[in-house]
Amino acid sequence: MLLRRLWDHDLAWSFRRSPVTVVAALLTLVCVGGAALAPWLAPQDPFNMAGLDLNNAFLPPAWSESGRAAFFLGTDNQGRDILSTIMHGARVSLVVGLASVLLAMFLGVSLGLISGYFGGRIDAFIMRVADIQLSFPAILIALLIDGVTRIALSAEAHDATAIAVLVVSIGLSKWVDYARTVRGSTLVEKNREYVQAARVIGRRPLAILLSHVLPNVMGPVLVIATINIGIAIITEATLSFLGVGVPATTPSLGTLIRVGNEFLYSGEWWITVFPGAALVVLVLSVNLLGDWLRDALNPKLR
């Protein structure tokens, strides 16, 4: 019954009609699945030191002359299997991407609701902070937060908290998108009759916001969130590529690309090219999904 209803839903129908979206969804599924199940699916555990052999280092991909079948995409400078490091790396990238989007969404939606519903000075204050925030590029804010924590924490503590720091810095640089959208929708919704009615019967503002306004402003938020996942993954990769992201001991895709970059000139292209390709595929397919969701949910395009 439920399946039937899902299949007949508007969204499902527009999904089936767009082959690009279906492919993107499948690719996303492969990436997320491969990353989530990396400890079970990956051919080698790249973090088990006893399993690494320096004599296997710098092997090219399996299809080239001196490649070996056991290392499908080749090996890096320590004899790690590239395919396995990509699967483990994508885990870190996805965790950072999802967590930072959730954080940004939580902050942005809360502030947007408060701003739109209460108006006045609170609104002015929150929106001016948002304006200031918008004048800084996201990556600069992320670098700033990372720099401050690097000085405040010791090197070991910084490595241990690297992922949390990344989540916070990307999350903090992205909340404005949500806050502005939600504020706009809230301004419209708060004058609707159902809200007025709720006020008249004496519901408290928090209850009104959460149970009446919020469900009606979430549509655009989901679209922004999907598109922002791609951006967050790229920001994480950029920061890690610059060396301020996650350390080499728990590599993300960005870290893998940075490490492999050293070997580009000496001819071991596969160490950097494959993590790079994985990043492109992951971000592209997530973005295509986001685009589709935006179009499907936009009443003007229906």
Per CB under 8 A, does 189 bind another protein? no
The helices-and-strands tally (H runs, E runs) of the chain is: 14, 0
Per CB under 8 A, does 53 bind another protein? yes
Structure tokens at 220: 């655009």
- Of the pair 56, 285, the CB lying nearest another protein is at 56
Distance CA 124, CA 126 (A): 6
Q: Which stretch binds another protein (CB under 8 A): 10-18, 23-31, 96-104, 259-267?
A: 259-267
Q: Is 144 exposed, middle or buried (0-12, 13-18, 19+ CB in 10 A)?
A: middle
- For residue 170, give the nearest of 137, 217, 192, 198 by alpha carbon: 137
* Closest distance of CB 257 from another protein, Å: 13
81 three-class SS: strand
* Closest distance of CB 194 from another protein, Å: 59
Q: Answer for the pair 176, 133: CB distance below 8 angstroms, yes or no.
A: yes
Q: Which stretch binds another protein (CB under 8 A): 87-95, 141-149, 227-235, 257-265?
A: 257-265
Q: Which stretch binds another protein (CB under 8 A): 19-27, 47-55, 110-118, 175-183?
A: 47-55
Per CB under 8 A, does 152 bind another protein? no
Residue 75 backbone phi and psi in degrees, to 5: -130, 165
Task: Identify the sign of the CA torsion 154, 139, 38, 64.
Answer: negative
* Closest distance of CB 267 from another protein, Å: 7
Q: Which residues does 255 contact at the CB level (< 8 Å), separation at least 6?
A: 89, 240, 241, 245, 246, 247, 248
Residue from 21, 24, 58, 82 that binds another protein (CB under 8 A)? Answer: 58
Site size with another protein, rule: CB under 8 A: 23
Side chain identity, residue 120: G
Per CB under 8 A, does 191 bind another protein? no
Q: Which of residues 95-134 bind another protein (CB under 8 A)?
A: none
Q: Answer for the pair 212, 198: CB distance below 8 angstroms, yes or no.
A: yes
- Give the x/- contact pattern for another protein in 67-96, rule: CB under 8 A: ----------xxx-----------------
* Closest distance of CB 195 from another protein, Å: 56
Residue from 3, 152, 155, 301 that binds another protein (CB under 8 A)? Answer: 155
Per CB under 8 A, does 263 bind another protein? yes
Q: Answer for the pair 34, 41: CB distance below 8 angstroms, yes or no.
A: yes
- Of the pair 177, 268, the CB lying nearest another protein is at 268
As a dihedral over the C-alpha atoms of residue 59, residue 64, residue 68, residue 72, rounded to 10 degrees, the angle is: 90
Q: Which stretch binds another protein (CB under 8 A): 44-52, 62-70, 134-142, 205-213?
A: 44-52
Name the residues that contact another protein, by CB under 8 A. Answer: 49-50, 52-55, 57-58, 77-79, 155-156, 248-249, 261-268
